[in-house]
């Protein structure tokens, strides 16, 4: 999980995942499981600006959503923002957003960190 750094800001009820380099489904699942073991926050930000998501396919993205559902890794009233400025990464992240429709956690995909933080802040008080 070296490619993924997890930081929690309990004051803002925010967990920040910074992804660097090539990652696959297993690394992402490990990071998600670690997040829930450590006490999930209401808001989550995945910074994919320095990530290489080429190892992920559509079925991996769908599988990540299923993994979250099967392990009860869904936060009611939670918000998860993904920052993916490159077109290919943005497209994969948008697929995940679509696959997650109907879940109690809201997902948003953004091209800039500022947009993602603004959207997370609009979620109301923690």
Is the pLDDT score of 123 beyond 80? no
What pLDDT score does 124 carry?
52
* Per-residue pLDDT tens over the stretch 30-59: 999 999 998 899 999 999 999 999 999 999
Domains of the chain, first to last: 4-121 (3.30.750.24)
Is the pLDDT score of 9 beyond 90? yes
Q: Convert 8-20 to b/e letters by CB count within 10 Å (16 or more is b).
A: eeeeebbbbbbbe
Question: CA 71, CA 41: separation in Å to the nearest integer?
Answer: 17
Q: How confident is the model at residue 77 (pLDDT cuts 50, 70, 90)?
A: confident
Residue 91: which residues within 8 A CB-CB, separation 6 or more? none
The model's pTM is 0.91
Token readout for 66 is: 């299923």
């Amino acid at each position: 999980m070296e490619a993924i750094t997890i930081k929690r800001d309990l004051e803002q009820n925010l967990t920040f995942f910074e992804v660097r380099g090539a990652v696959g489904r297993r690394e992402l699942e490990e990071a998600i499981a670690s997040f829930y073991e450590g006490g999930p926050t209401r808001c989550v930000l995945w910074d994919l600006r320095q990530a290489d998501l080429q190892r992920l396919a559509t079925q991996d993205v769908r599988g990540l959503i299923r993994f979250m559902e099967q392990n009860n890794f869904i936060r009611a009233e939670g918000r998860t923002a993904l920052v993916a400025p490159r077109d290919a990464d943005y497209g994969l992240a948008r697929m995940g957003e679509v696959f997650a429709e109907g879940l109690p956690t809201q997902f948003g995909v953004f091209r800039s960190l500022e947009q993602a933080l603004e959207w997370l802040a609009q979620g109301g008080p923690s």
